[in-house]
Chains A and B, each alone.
Chain A
Amino acid sequence: MFRFLRFAAAVGIAIGLQIFVAGIHPILPRGLDFVLVVALYYAFRCRPATSALLGSVLGLVQDSLSGGHFGLNGFATTFGAYTTSRIQERMVIHQNSQVLLLLLLAATLQQTLVAGLQFLLFRDAELPNALTTVTLMATSSLAGTALYVASQRFHSWHERRQVLGRQRIRLED
């Protein structure tokens, strides 16, 4: 339940930030997709089945915010999240640069799928601007990595505090 609430809060914050940034300047959300960042982060942290489910929900959120074909981002984000999770499961990741590389790969896969599906399925489709897409992929993977590193640091700090707390209790006894 707590995990679900945390996920719902993350989605809410991502949507809020997306709209906040769009309000500052309409061109800004083209270069950074907060919902995609959350999808990448959860893909990296969760198991493949959970990642696919969460990716599916987040993709539909992206579709709701955009005026495009409903289900396009849903498909791409589900597949991207699942693939990221599968790769992460099979690799031993020690460095932040490896996290960044994997998330960059996931963002590239997601964007390629969106463009590819649009091109394949819809007659009036146009390929997205290359510069915008590259910027979106780079910023989203960077933000996803930053979020992952911050959460790792928070977890280790929290664990240290708990260990210290237990030692203090033992000394007082």
Chain B
Amino acid sequence: MSERFNRILLVLLLLGHLYLLSRQPATDGSRLESSSLRLIGPISRVADGALAAVQGVAASFRMADSLRAENLRLRQELERLRLRQVYWRQAEDELALLRRAAAAAPRELGESFPATIVYIDPSPTIRTLVIHAPQGRPQHNQPVLTAKGLLGRVITSAGAYAKVLLITDRSAAVSAQIERTRRQGLIGGDGEGGLWLRHVPAQFDVVAGDMIETAGLDGIFPPGLPIGTVREISVEESIFHKIEVAPAVDFGTLDQVYVLTKPLLSEGLRRELALVPGSTPPTPEGGA
């Protein structure tokens, strides 16, 4: 191959990559990225499975003695939980009665499907992970959570695989509120694993240990999902509090996650706001 051909090929390839870079913002997946994820996803899952198998065998040898004791403890725990379930069933009935009485609509979290984590991006500044959901198809912007709280949202999907941007990423921004006072702010990461609640004016009351949850104002995350607790507050010279939040989720022990599927807004309201493709917002009657 001639020298000229080599140079032309190199320039074309570099231009192609620059085009890819210019086309998509950091958090939106392109079609090529989705296709690439679709190819790499299964390899990631096989490697993850192999690692789990190796670790499982090693752990079973290591913990053979303690497993028996743990089994016994778990059986006792199961019995205790069964008893608790009876109590909760009664409490649920009672709550339904009260709801009916107050004519209040229950706050539903929505439908979800489980997913397993197959790869965690080791990059120090970007916090993403790849999940595999055999029971569902993750879609762009769907919230992802664990049993302990909010984890992030889907930014790229490819079949059963999806890339999730964690709330600890520097570019993440979640509408959040302090559970005790309902004071709202924006929560986001610093890229180093820390979480910061911003835009809470300095004159408002915040104390260490306050629970932080989603406010549901961003159109992505439903309200009431636990995010973390206030770890430290400093005012500095700004008009806002500088609030450090300890995440509810332990990002070092992630395994099973859940993807929320139900849209936050009802179909009618989505149609009214023209969020459904093909729909047009209604014209106000008699309005100027």
| Same complex origin of A and B | yes
Q: Give the segment of B9-17, B83-91, B95-103, B236-244 that binds chain A.
A: B9-17
Query: Which residues of chain B have C-beta atoms less than 8 A from A119's C-beta?
Result: none
Cα A28 to Cα B123 in complex, Å, equals: 11
Nearest neighbor of B19 in chain A, beta-carbon distance: A71
Residue B24 at the chain A interface, CB threshold 8 Å: yes
- Give, as a whole number of angstroms, the nearest-CB distance from A56 to chain B: 5
- Give, as a whole number of angstroms, the nearest-CB distance from A89 to chain B: 10
- Give, as a whole number of angstroms, the nearest-CB distance from A167 to chain B: 37
- Given known pairs A15-B47, A49-B6, A78-B13, the reply for A66 and B126 (CB within 8 Å) is yes
Query: Which residues of chain A have C-beta atoms less than 8 A from B14's C-beta?
Result: 75, 78-79
Tell me whether B1 and A124 are in contact (CB under 8 A).
Answer: no
- By size class, the interface of chain B is 35 or more
- Given known pairs A52-B10, A56-B17, A75-B21, the reply for A64 and B121 (CB within 8 Å) is no
Residue A12 at the chain B interface, CB threshold 8 Å: yes
Report whether over half of chain A's contact residues are helix, strand or loop; otherwise say mixed: helix
Instruction: Tell me which of B20, B118, B120 contacts A74 (CB under 8 A).
Output: B20
Residue B208 at the chain A interface, CB threshold 8 Å: no
Instruction: Tell me which of B1, B16, B40, B47 contacts A20 (CB under 8 A).
Output: B47
Nearest neighbor of A56 in chain B, beta-carbon distance: B13
Nearest neighbor of B251 in chain A, beta-carbon distance: A26
Tell me whether B36 and A61 are in contact (CB under 8 A).
Answer: yes
Query: Which residues of chain A have C-beta atoms less than 8 A from B122's C-beta?
Result: 22, 26-30
- Given known pairs A16-B50, A132-B124, the reply for A82 and B10 (CB within 8 Å) is yes
Tell me whether B10 and A61 are in contact (CB under 8 A).
Answer: no
Q: Give the segment of B26-34, B64-72, B213-221, B225-233 that binds chain A.
A: B26-34
Query: Which residues of chain A have C-beta atoms less than 8 A from B16's C-beta?
Result: 56, 74
Cα A12 to Cα B52 in complex, Å, equals: 18
- Give, as a whole number of angstroms, the nearest-CB distance from A45 to chain B: 16
Tell me whether B118 and A19 are in contact (CB under 8 A).
Answer: yes
Q: List CB contacts (< 8 Å) of B35-60 with chain A.
A: 36-37, 39-40, 43-44, 46-48, 50-52, 55
User: Which residues of A are at the interface with B, using a C-beta cutoff of 8 A?
Assistant: 12, 15-20, 22-24, 26-30, 47-49, 52-53, 56, 59-61, 63-72, 74-75, 78-79, 82, 117, 121-122, 124, 126, 128-129, 132
The 4 closest A-B pairs by CB, nearest first: A67-B128, A71-B20, A19-B47, A75-B17
Supplied contacts A16-B43, A20-B51, A129-B124, 20 more A-B pairs, CB within 8 Å: A15-B43, A16-B47, A17-B47, A19-B43, A19-B118, A22-B119, A22-B120, A23-B52, A24-B51, A30-B122, A49-B6, A59-B17, A61-B36, A66-B128, A69-B24, A71-B18, A75-B14, A78-B14, A79-B14, A128-B125
